[in-house]
Structure 1
Amino acid sequence: MNAQKAEVVGLQALGWLAGQEDLLGIFLGSTGAAPGDLRARAQEAEFLASVLDFLLMDDGWVIAFCDAAGLPYAAPMQARAALPGGAATHWT
């Protein structure tokens, strides 16, 4: 997945998250983002990466998002890998 497609998936995830009232509150609380940041920072790849990082914390969230967006379950992980800071870490 290239960076442009990854940003589209990130935007889709952000839109889905914004529609999940309870989950949105958890995201805002855990990231320190304010409600205004959702719109103001939606074009920043780093912010979209944080949305995907949050989404990827729970398989149930990934499944719900992918089902709603019509995406394969691997799409959020692939998108995250294509955004800043998503490269695999090699410890050896």
Structure 2
Amino acid sequence: MKPENAEVIGLTALSWLVSNDELLPVFMGASGAGEDDIKSGATSPEFLAAVLDFLTMDDIWVKQFCDENALPYDAPMTARQALPGGGQVNWT
């Protein structure tokens, strides 16, 4: 996946998260992000990567997000890997 496409999915995830009254406070509490951080983070690939990191912590969230946005279930993880810090780790 190209980074530009990954950013679109990350921005879609951020928009979905902001519209989710139950999950947004969880994200804000876990990340320490405030409203201003969320607004400015919309243009930051690193912030969008953090949004996808959060989203992919729970399969239920991934399914809800993908179902509501007509995306395959692997889209958030594929997008995450294309953003900064998402490269595959080789421990050997």
Aligned length: 92
Shift of 1:60: 0.2
What is the distance in 1 between the residues matched to 2:89 and 2:40?
30
Partner of 1:7: 7
Share of identical aligned residues, percent? Answer: 54
Higher mean alpha-carbon deviation, 32-41 vs 54-63, is at 32-41
Tell me the amino acid that sits aligned with residue 53 of structure 1: D
TM-score (norm 2): 0.98
* Structure 1 unaligned blocks of 5 or more: none
* Structure 2 unaligned blocks of 5 or more: none
Partner of 1:51: 51
Partner of 1:60: 60
What secondary structure sits across from 2:22 in the alignment? helix
What secondary structure sits across from 1:91 in the alignment? coil
Tell me the amino acid that sits aligned with residue 36 of structure 1: D
Shift of 1:43: 0.5
1:1-92 mapped onto 2 (5 Å cutoff): 1-92=1-92
Shift of 1:40: 1.4
Deviation string, structure 1 residues 9-33 (Cα, Å, up to 9, x no partner): 0000000000111100000000000
What is the distance in 2 between the residues matched to 1:22 and 1:35?
15
Shift of 1:35: 1.4
Tell me the amino acid that sits aligned with residue 3 of structure 1: P
List, as ranges, runs of 4+ consecutive aligned residues in structure 1 with deviation greater than 2 Å: none
TM-score (norm 1): 0.98
